Amino acid sequence: MDISNGSVLITGGAGGFGGATARRLAKLGAKVVLADVADDRGNALASEIGNGATYVRTDIMDEASIAQAVETAVALAPLRAAIVAHGGPPPPGKGGRTIDREGNRVGMAHFNHFLSVFLSSAYCVSSIAAEAMAKNEPLASNQRGVIINTASIAGFEGQPGQVPYGAAKGGIIAMALNLARDLAPMGIRSMAIAPGTFLTFAYDRMGTEKAQETFGPLVLNPKRMGDPDEYAMLAQQVVENDFLNGTTIRVDGGQRF
């Protein structure tokens, strides 16, 4: 799909995955809207990218805020791609294994928080973006747009203590094909990317060297954490390749938990 005369919405656009993807899609000529809450990083990235890139402060837990971000993108150019790559606020209460060593269970507030941040918000972005894309004039390829959600290998085989996160990401994996079926009559594709362990801003507190020492050996080959641009390469291919639809692609260096 040619997005050179379109806009792209990226939630989590100031983050590792989002920022790397924004840089790549802007080089294809798209006007990128960075939807995030990291104001300084988002504004700096929009200035760096140029080509009409815009930062919009967006609360992914608020439907009206998401709708405003979509409206911003549509005002720039027809919305052709939406990439859902956001994280969210920290969860309430203690996480860990479903039943801990003291016999206490993980509470529903903690579980529901992960569903809200990683699944419900992703559906909200996807549905509002699809509503806007459906109004586009189709391209010569008969395509109106594409939606890319971010799953995780935890949605396939999570570790102990990852029930809430794994359930949310498993929902993203299930949603990819179902969305594709729903949106096919409108010429809108749906895909998901399932990353393994990537060196994003989430590891800033740990530090790059410590993170690589801890998590790099878990990767089959190469023995390092993923670079966000390797996610972005795949996202770009999904945008450009109209025959990628309705599935989840792992990008994890062969890592298995």
Residues 199-230: tens digit of each pLDDT: 998 888 889 999 999 999 999 999 999 999 99
Look at the chain and report how many structural domains it folds into: 1
pLDDT in the model for residue 132: 98
* pLDDT tens profile 84-119: 999 999 999 889 999 999 999 999 999 999 999 999
Tell whether pTM > 0.85. Answer: yes
pLDDT in the model for residue 204: 85
Domain harbouring 129, CATH code: 3.40.50.720
* Res. 257: pLDDT tops 90: no
In a domain, 90, yes or no: yes
Contact of 74 with 46, CB cutoff 8 Å: no
In a domain, 257, yes or no: no
* Res. 196: pLDDT tops 80: yes
Active site residues: 165
In a domain, 69, yes or no: yes
In a domain, 207, yes or no: no
pLDDT in the model for residue 40: 98
Instruction: Indicate left, alpha or beta for 212 from its phi (over 0: left) and psi (-120 to 50: alpha).
Output: alpha
pLDDT in the model for residue 254: 95
Question: Mean pLDDT over all residues of the chain?
Answer: 96
In a domain, 106, yes or no: yes
In a domain, 32, yes or no: yes
In a domain, 35, yes or no: yes
pLDDT in the model for residue 51: 92
In a domain, 55, yes or no: yes
pLDDT exceeding 90 applies to what percent of the chain? 95
Expressed as residue numbers, the domain containing 143 is: 7-197+226-251
* Res. 174: pLDDT tops 80: yes
* Res. 166: pLDDT tops 90: yes
* pLDDT tens profile 44-70: 999 999 999 999 999 999 999 999 999
Q: Exposure pattern of 91-105 as b/e (b: 16+ CB <10 Å)?
A: beeebeeeeeeeeee
Q: What is the mean pLDDT of residues 15-34?
A: 98
